[in-house]
């Protein structure tokens, strides 16, 4: 797969702040033992989570978002 960019992920996520939160949460899940959702054997967890978001494998459940 070619290099993943923030713009690739922003096609699926409303803004950069939400993207950062999604990536951070997914990295924690991966480090706690969750399986990769895309094939990316030699990349770091952050890159894997960005690739998963860009591929549409990770998404926001808007029904559970909390309004502040």
**CA 39 to mean position of chain CA atoms:** 14
Task: Provide the residue ranges of all domains of the chain, joining segments of one domain with +.
Answer: 6-60
3-state secondary structure of 58: coil
In the chain (68 residues long), the average pLDDT of successive 10-residue segments reads 81 91 95 93 91 91 56
pLDDT of residue 42: 87
Burial 12-27 (b: 16+ CB within 10 A, else e): bbeeeeebeebbeebb
pLDDT of residue 59: 83
State how far the Cα of 55 lies from the Cα of 31, in Å rounded to an integer: 20
- Mention the CATH class of domain 6-60: alpha beta
């Amino acid at each position: 797969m070619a290099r993943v960019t923030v713009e690739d992920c922003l096609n699926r996520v409303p803004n950069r702040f939400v993207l950062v939160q999604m990536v951070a949460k997914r990295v924690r899940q991966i480090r706690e033992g969750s399986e990769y959702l895309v094939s990316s054997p030699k990349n770091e967890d952050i890159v894997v989570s960005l690739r998963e978001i860009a591929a549409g494998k990770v998404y926001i459940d808007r029904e559970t978002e909390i309004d502040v």
